[in-house]
Structure 1
Amino acid sequence: MEAVYIDKHYGLVAECKQGSKKACYELYRLYSKAMLNVAYRIVGNIEEAEDVLQESFVDAFAKLKDFRQETTFGLWLKQIVVNRAINLLRKRRLDLTELEDGHLENIVDKEEDDQEEIQYQVAQVKQAIQLLPEGYRIVLSLYLLEGYDHEEIGQILKINENTSRTQFLRAKRKLMEILRQKGNVA
């Protein structure tokens, strides 16, 4: 027997399946920011992440009739976004090391004195992640930021689970090396 997940947005999904543009817009509004962050962490470029986001929603709404509640809508959509982002990287093979500071989301509250230093450190780590080779960056992002395990990463990237683990360990070492070179880690 298949597992059926109760999704708090099931009603909106059902309305979308029936053709409600208002419900589709509401799902977009609920999930677009989080999915943009997912795409951005993988592709490393805000314009490309926005393209991935739009294409992912178009795909999701076109395939909505196939959504069977074997997972939540959010997880189903996230898988579409991750696959689209990875396909973009495979197709273009761009060097995505430049980080656009103006598009970083504030992670911490600036009101406290210590928050400014923390924000600086977070920005440094984000910049260092963008300097990682593409394979390292993708595995690190999927594991640490998106919460996938190595088996899932292996399936997504079509690599061996052990390759995912190795890439992750190498990515961590390389990230520490980059941060040391920049003087951000003792």
Structure 2
Amino acid sequence: MNDELQDKIAGLVERARRGELAAFAELVRRFQNMACGYAYAVLGDFHLAQDAAQEAFVEAYRRLEQLREPARFAGWLRRIVLSSSHRFIRGKSVSTVGLEAAEVVASGELGPSKAAEGKELGERVLAAVRALPESQRTAVTLFYINGYSQKEIADFLEVPVTTVNNRLHAARVQLKERMMTMVEKTIKDN
């Protein structure tokens, strides 16, 4: 993160500490998608990720006074999102299915067999992403799903850009291998 942006974030944190809700709302606006993307990488469920990110922002607001270096808000928030996500993992007792899948089937846009095929393919792809190590899964989620640049991801994760690039490359290699295995298996089965 460049110095100017860090100064702006530090200023927003200081204003939020003084009780300016608009300043904290701006912090939420700036980091909401990143927090949701990171929670999704950990949880693998969009709805739980949104809940975990929301819980993390509430906790961050309550603990704002504990942040020693306001310019390091992004990394501090990331750790809170991770803790919040882990609480959801521990508390999760039932498997959930996103409403998007039900809406497509209910709308009749696809026939039942096409909907089932699409759902199965989507589940396979998500399973392949979930099987990645957490560091790679996080990079893939933030880059491909949330559309953040390598630099933005590096700033949020507090790692060098080359580390993000290496994680993305390693993830692509693993995903390609897994997807090729799935394709080969599907061809052999049919």
Bigger relative contact order, structure 1 or 2 (CA pairs below 8 A, ≥6 apart): 2
Which range moved further: 87-96 or 18-27?
87-96
Q: What is aligned with 1:130?
A: 126
The answer to which structure has the higher helix fraction is 2
Partners of 2:97 and 2:81 in 1: CA distance: 21
Provide the C-alpha distance between the structure 1 equivalents of 2:31 and 2:71, rounded to a whole number of angstroms: 15
Paired position in structure 2 for 1:59: 59
1:77 aligns with 2:77: yes
Unaligned residue ranges in structure 2 (runs of 5+): 1-5, 103-119, 143-152, 159-169, 185-190
| Percent of residue pairs identical | 23
Give the CA deviation at 1:47.
Answer: 1.2
Give the Cα–Cα distance (whole angstroms) in 1 for the partners of residues 43 and 37 of structure 2. 10
Contact 1:129/1:175, CA 8 A, preserved across alignment = no
Counterpart of 1:27 in structure 2 is: 27
Query: How many positions carry a matched residue from both structures?
Result: 139
| Structure 2 match to 1:42 | 42
CA distance in 2 between partners of 1:99 and 1:47 (Å):
9
Secondary structure of the equivalent of 2:80? helix
The 1:99/1:182 distance shift into structure 2, 3 A limit, reads: farther
Segments of structure 1 that go 5 or more residues without pairing to the other structure are: 1-5, 103-123, 153-168
1:109 corresponding residue in structure 2: none
Distance 1:16 1:84 in 2: 21
Q: After superposition, what is the alpha-carbon deviation per residue over 1:74-117, rounded to whole angstroms, capped at 9, x for unaligned?
A: 11111111221122123316557879579xxxxxxxxxxxxxxx
Q: Which residue of 2 aligns with 1:141?
A: 137
1:8 maps to which residue? 8
How far apart are 1:177 and its partner, in Å? 3.1
With the length of structure 2 as denominator, give the TM-score of the two structures.
0.55
Please, which moves more after superposition, 12-21 or 77-86? Answer: 77-86
CA RMSD for the aligned pairs?
Answer: 3.9
With normalisation by structure 1, the TM-score equals 0.56
176 and 50 in structure 1: CA distance in 2 versus 1, 3 angstrom threshold: same
Q: Distance in 2 between matches of 1:51 and 1:21?
A: 21
- Does structure 1 conserve the Cα–Cα contact (< 8 Å) formed by 2:129 and 2:137? no
Q: Shift in Å at residue 59 of structure 1? A: 0.3
Report how far residue 138 of structure 1 moved. Answer: 3.6
Partner residue of 1:177? 178
Q: Which amino acid aligns with 1:39?
A: A
Q: Tell me which amino acid in the other structure corresponds to 1:14.
A: E
Q: Conserved in 2, the CA contact under 8 Å of 1:7 and 1:73?
A: no
1:103-122 equivalences in 2 (<5 Å):
none
Q: After superposing the two structures, state which structure 1 stretch, 59-68 or 36-45, moved more.
A: 36-45
Structure 2: how far apart are the matches of 1:8 and 1:54? 22
Q: For the pair shown, which has the larger CA radius of gyration, 1 or 2?
A: 2
The answer to whether the 8 A contact 1:28-1:57 is kept is yes
